[in-house]
Amino acid sequence: MESIRELLKAIPGYNSLPPLLQDFLPMLASCVIILLFVAILGMFLIWLERKVSAHMQDRLGPMYVGGWHGWAQSIADGIKLLLKEDIVPAAADPLLFKLAPVVVFVGAFAAFVVLPFGARSIVADLNIGVLFLLAVASLSVVGILMGGWASNNKYALYGGMRSAAQIVSYEIPAAMALMTVVVLVGSLSMQDIVNAQKGGIQNWFLFRIPFTFMAFFVYYTCSLAEVNRTPFDIPEAESELVAGYHTEYSGMRFAFFMLAEYANMFVVACVATALFLGGWTQVLPARWVPKQLIPGPILFTLKALFLVFLQMWLRWSLPRLRVDQLMHMCWKVMLPISLFLVLGTGFLAVYWK
């Protein structure tokens, strides 16, 4: 946002605006940019998911819309969803029903505020960046519960409850795994964490100490549960609950849920990239390549997209865990491991360095 402020200051007459407006316009501009980015990203990821799943299943996926490998398929789908009739079930709670997709989307969207795309491309480098992320990610749980309850549909209720239990449970090991990195860096600010990994792949937290190596996998697995992806996609289990908490949604509201899910996927991939894979810093060691060749934002997005691709790969290979097995894995497996990792990192940070 700082760079936007600089840009805006260059416009003649900007400094004569009232100070409130001077502060507000950069925020508005950032919001619009992020919103555009999320929209295009969502469309791209949906197309990517269809292509990836198709090729893994020995078929082709979208091929016609737009010519080359159906790249415009998502745009066509978006237009179709916009044109659909807006159905609110008669016995549903109208306010909660209409509010639920918005809340879920806000939960995913607000996390983009602290994602460090580049050295100067971050909306707000809060000094509590990681804490803010974890807090905001929980907002989507409220939205899911609202959607499940307000639909007045037993299946949706089941889906909403399962999802809430799952997300809330898995946040704990995920946060613990992130704490290992925070303990090493000594700061919650995202830019500080990324800057601590400057200098190439050997400085990435993934490879520095065994504890953060394991923490990466713990975080990645827990983040799959956060975004309701297979093997943790019980809330959307098609074969059991039709479509879970978004059974009764159609048209643009359904599109919001979908967009929120893909935005969430990207957010958790970005967090993993920023904390473990070096963020926007260069991949090749600084000894060989002193200056970063690929610009920060592009490198960051590429790394995050690779992790998203990995999420898709896992979705199309693995079956689904049952609810009690999922809970067992969280509380009896992931949580002890993550606690052990935090303790280990703490010891190392105090007595080693």
Partner 1 sequence: MEAEIAGELMTLNMGPQHPSTHGVLRLELKTDGEVVHEAIPHIGYLHRCFEKHAENVDYPGVIPFTDRMDYVASMNNNLGYALAVEKLMGIQVNNRVRCIRIMMAELNRIASHLLAAGTYGIDMGSYTPFLHCFRDRERILDLFEETCGARLLYNYNWVGGVMYDIPPGFEKKVIDFLDYFEPLVDDLNRLLSHNYIFIKRTANVGILSPETAISHGITGPNLRGSGVEWDVRKDEPYLDYDEFDFDVAVGEGKHGPVGSCYDRYMVRIKEVKESCKIARQAVAKITPGDVHESIPKRGKPPAGEVYMRTECPSGELGYYIISDGSLKPYRVKVKSPCFTAMSAFKEISRGAMISDIVAIVGSLDIVLGEIDR
- Rule CB under 8 A: choose which of 4, 17, 56, 349 binds partner 1: 56
- Write the DSSP string, 214-269: HHHHHHHHHHHHHTT-TTS-GGG-HHHHTTGGGTT--HHHHHHHHHHHHHHHHHHH
Closest approach of partner 1 to the CB of residue 325, in Å: 6
> Which residues between 242 and 261 bind partner 1 (CB under 8 A)?
242
Number of Cβ within a 10 Å radius of residue 185: 19
Give the whole-angstrom CA distance, residue 327 versus residue 234. Answer: 11
Closest approach of partner 1 to the CB of residue 319, in Å: 4
What is residue 54's three-state secondary structure? helix
Give the whole-angstrom CA distance, residue 149 versus residue 167. Answer: 17
- Rule CB under 8 A: choose which of 206, 261, 320, 341 binds partner 1: 320
CA distance between the termini of the chain = 35
Give the whole-angstrom CA distance, residue 213 versus residue 84. Answer: 47
In terms of Cα–Cα distance, which of 215, 185, 210, 188 is closest to 198?
A: 185
Residue 321 is a binding residue for partner 1 (CB under 8 A): yes
- Rule CB under 8 A: choose which of 10, 13, 59, 293 binds partner 1: 59
> Which residues between 149 and 168 bind partner 1 (CB under 8 A)?
153-154, 158
In terms of Cα–Cα distance, which of 44, 195, 28, 232 is closest to 120?
A: 195
Provide CB contacts within 8 A for 346, sequence distance 6+. 183
- Of the two residues 85 and 324, which places its CB atom closer to partner 1 in the complex? 324
Closest approach of partner 1 to the CB of residue 322, in Å: 5
- Mutual angle of helices 19-56 and 73-83, in 10-degree steps: 110
> Which residues between 290 and 319 bind partner 1 (CB under 8 A)?
316-319
Draw the binding track, 204-243, toward partner 1 (x: CB under 8 A; -: no contact).
--------------------------xx-xx--xxxx-x-
Residue 273 is a binding residue for partner 1 (CB under 8 A): no
Give the whole-angstrom CA distance, residue 161 versus residue 177. Answer: 25
Residue 58 is a binding residue for partner 1 (CB under 8 A): yes
- Of the two residues 106 and 327, which places its CB atom closer to partner 1 in the complex? 327
Residue 332 is a binding residue for partner 1 (CB under 8 A): no
- Of the two residues 49 and 171, which places its CB atom closer to partner 1 in the complex? 49
Residue 51 is a binding residue for partner 1 (CB under 8 A): no
Closest approach of partner 1 to the CB of residue 152, in Å: 9
- Of the two residues 139 and 242, which places its CB atom closer to partner 1 in the complex? 242
Closest approach of partner 1 to the CB of residue 113, in Å: 34
Closest approach of partner 1 to the CB of residue 305, in Å: 22
- Rule CB under 8 A: choose which of 15, 57, 127, 202 binds partner 1: 57
Q: How many angstroms from the chain centroid is the CA of residue 346?
A: 27
Closest approach of partner 1 to the CB of residue 264, in Å: 19
Closest approach of partner 1 to the CB of residue 318, in Å: 6
Provide CB contacts within 8 A for 180, sequence distance 6+. 211, 212, 215, 341, 342, 345
DSSP run (H or E) holding 189: none
The residue ranges that bind partner 1 (CB under 8 A) are: 53, 56-59, 153-154, 158, 230-231, 233-234, 237-240, 242, 316-325
